[in-house]
């Protein structure tokens, strides 16, 4: 894993990048000092991330500090909401967008991330209703993890 910082035209980006150059987590602060966090909105770099040019390599600790400061206001909500979702429970949601981790779902009061490997032959798109089984929790991203993807019939 590589962690980078980019300061470009008034925007500041902190990005966690895997060995293939794929962004996995990102914090962005714009010129108006508004923070966007990839776990709560579609702001993750969706192209190959060059970690060699026009950026500063930072430590994992530095990235985690920025990440935790950005998500701190949402941690209490996450800790309350995840208690409503038990492993093995069936759940449904609406696809918001796609990330390398899977389809990010709106679950009304929170977000889920669904493994879509067994749904590849079906047309999936933002706004699509899907269901599955809760398999765990992604504490870093504050997501409910969902497996056994099924497209809901409309």
Sequential DSSP letters for the chain: -EEEEEEETTEEEEEEE-TTS-EEEEEEE-TT--EEETTTSS-S--S---SSSSSEEE-HHHHHHHHHHHHHHHHHHHHHHGGG--TT-EEEEEEEEEETTEEEEE-SSSEEEE--GGGTTS---TT-EEEEEEEEEETTTTEEEEEEEEEPP-
Residue range 6-22, pLDDT digits in tens:
999 999 999 999 999 99
Residue range 96-120, pLDDT digits in tens:
999 999 889 998 877 888 887 767 6
> Alpha carbon 136 to chain centroid distance?
15
Does residue 153 carry a pLDDT above 80? no
Q: Tell me what the mean pLDDT of segment 125-150 comes to.
A: 91
Q: What is the pLDDT of residue 154?
A: 59
Residue range 24-33, pLDDT digits in tens:
999 999 999 9
Name the average pLDDT for the chain. Answer: 91
Residue range 37-58, pLDDT digits in tens:
999 999 999 899 998 888 999 9
| Pair of tokens at residue 148 | 């056994």
Binning pLDDT at 50, 70 and 90, where does residue 83 land?
A: very high
Q: What is the pLDDT of residue 16?
A: 97
Question: What's the pTM value of the predicted model, to 2 decimals?
Answer: 0.89
Percentage above 90 pLDDT, the chain: 70
């Amino acid at each position: 894993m590589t962690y980078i910082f980019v300061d470009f035209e008034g925007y500041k980006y902190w990005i966690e990048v895997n060995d293939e150059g794929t962004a996995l987590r990102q914090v962005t602060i714009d010129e108006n000092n508004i923070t966007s966090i990839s776990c709560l909105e579609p702001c993750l770099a969706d192209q190959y991330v060059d970690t060699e040019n026009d950026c500063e390599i930072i430590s994992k600790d530095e990235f985690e500090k920025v990440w935790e400061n950005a998500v701190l206001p949402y941690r209490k909500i996450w800790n309350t909401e995840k208690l409503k979702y038990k492993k093995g429970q069936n759940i449904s949601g609406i696809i918001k967008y796609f990330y390398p981790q899977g389809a990010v779902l709106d679950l009304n009061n929170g977000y889920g991330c669904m493994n879509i490997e067994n749904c590849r032959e079906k047309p999936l798109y933002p706004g699509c209703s899907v269901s599955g089984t809760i398999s765990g929790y992604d504490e870093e991203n504050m997501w409910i993890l969902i497996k056994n993807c099924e497209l809901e019939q409309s």
